[in-house]
Structure 1
Amino acid sequence: MTKPHLYIVTGAMAAGKSTVAQALAERLPKSVHLRGDIFRRMIVNGAAVMGPELSADAITQLDLRQALACDAARHYVEAGFSVVYQDILIGHALQDVANRLAPFSPRIVVLNPRPDILAQRDEARSKTGYSESFPPVILADALERETPRIGLWIDTSAMAVTEVVDRILAGPHPAAW
């Protein structure tokens, strides 16, 4: 039996996290695609608004969502599953999650397409997240300026999903993995 791996896939909205995480999980034996956003969507009443400016309540809910996702990832890995945990982890959130999951040596992947590509991808999907008051450049800039340079950063602007997954699986992996 092969040892399970833990991958953390992050990036801005419309970076391709869900698509890449699903394709990666499909290439791994005994695997789980853990979508961090599922924990936000479980809230029936009282969900805080997520956007460029976060209220104290939104920050608390993001911390809760990440803690729950890390707990779920830990349990799946301990049960022998490889886990691909996908969420928007920008700024200190990426380091916090990496620290929480450090005993499992997570392989961190940051999808970092250009802002114009984020806008194109967002327009093409059924669930749009950006708006005039919240353009893609806000998250793209935050990712660039505030997020620690850990793991594998990939500009996926001109890459197909299979190319991205191949790159993730190819190694050699950065020392931070």
Structure 2
Amino acid sequence: MSADIWLITGAQASGKSTIADLLARQFERGVHVRGGQFYRWAVRGWVHVGDDAPEEEIVRNLRLRYRLSALSAAEYADADFTTVVQDNIYGQDVAGWLDLVAPRPRYLVVLRPSVDIVSARDAARTTATGKIAYRGDFTPAINDLHVASTPHDLGLWLDTSSQTPEETVANILARQDQARVPTNSNPPRPPAGKGGIGLTGQR
């Protein structure tokens, strides 16, 4: 019997890191996997959306990132650690990622605070840490469209605009049944390729 696997997604600066970490700490054996960590381990050659590189290479790296987070989550869950993964995964890529960790118990939470709140949080985070999530034409409003492209019949969707992190986690746990992703027998689907929602300027 495998432990549960949670996927937390949402726009950049929507609170994924904070919520995922706090949620993982609610379990007796909890793990927080940061999807972005996998590209940081590549000391040379990794390309991102927006880089001057062939789209095929960008997609290949993005799929690798998703596979690595899924593999890590599966190994932790099989060792009886409830695992919470956070990453910028949108659209059909979400269903593809969830298929990669099936048939283990899976939960999906989509954080969707208002665009204005995301903008304010991003500005505050940039001031505090120097991290820049949005560049050029990639804005919170555009990123919200990527979030909205995720199948709405999957998981628990939360407008966290007026919630504290503690309130959000309490809400997630209280509505865990709504976050549960039904198990199916479909074979794993790779994340979207050319033109897929994965190409969103994310880091």
TM-score by length of 1: 0.91
Amino acid at match of 1:39: F
Matches within 5 A, 1:35-46: 35-46=34-45
Q: In proportion to residue count, which structure has more helix?
A: 1
Which residue in the other structure is 2:109 paired with?
109
Aligned equivalents of 2:24 and 2:4: distance in 1?
Answer: 10
Judge conservation of contact 1:10–1:89 (CA < 8 Å) in 2. yes
Amino acid at match of 1:98: L
Instruction: Give how far 1:4 is off.
Output: 2.6
SS at match of 1:121: helix
Aligned equivalents of 1:63 and 1:49: distance in 2?
Answer: 12
Which residue in the other structure is 1:100 paired with?
100
Instruction: Give how far 1:101 is off.
Output: 1.4
* Structure 1 ranges of 4+ moved more than 4 A: none
Which residue in the other structure is 2:87 paired with?
87
Instruction: Give how far 1:115 is off.
Output: 1.2
**In 2 relative to 1, CA 26–51 (structure 1 residues): closer, same or farther, beyond 3 Å?**
farther
Residues 71-127 of structure 1: CA distance to partner in whole angstroms, max 9, x if unpaired? 110100111100001111111110101111121121100001111111111111121
Instruction: Give how far 1:27 is off.
Output: 1.1
RMSD over aligned CA atoms reads: 2.1
Judge conservation of contact 2:3–2:105 (CA < 8 Å) in 1. no
Which residue in the other structure is 2:175 paired with?
171
* Percent of matched pairs sharing the same residue: 36
Judge conservation of contact 1:25–1:83 (CA < 8 Å) in 2. yes
Judge conservation of contact 2:10–2:111 (CA < 8 Å) in 1. yes
TM-score by length of 2: 0.80
Aligned equivalents of 2:89 and 2:48: distance in 1?
Answer: 16
Aligned equivalents of 2:22 and 2:16: distance in 1?
Answer: 10
**In 2 relative to 1, CA 58–116 (structure 1 residues): closer, same or farther, beyond 3 Å?**
same
SS at match of 2:181: coil
Residues 26-80 of structure 1: CA distance to partner in whole angstroms, max 9, x if unpaired? 111111000111001111111212359x922221111000101111101001111
**In 2 relative to 1, CA 3–47 (structure 1 residues): closer, same or farther, beyond 3 Å?**
closer
Which residue in the other structure is 1:148 paired with?
151
Q: How many residues align?
A: 175
Q: Can you give the 5+ residue segments of structure 1 that lack an aligned partner in the other structure?
A: none
Matches within 5 A, 1:22-101: 22-51=21-50, 55-101=55-101
Which residue in the other structure is 2:18 paired with?
19
Judge conservation of contact 2:70–2:101 (CA < 8 Å) in 1. yes
**In 2 relative to 1, CA 29–141 (structure 1 residues): closer, same or farther, beyond 3 Å?**
same
Judge conservation of contact 1:7–1:84 (CA < 8 Å) in 2. yes
Judge conservation of contact 1:51–1:134 (CA < 8 Å) in 2. no
Q: Can you give the 5+ residue segments of structure 2 that lack an aligned partner in the other structure?
A: 183-203
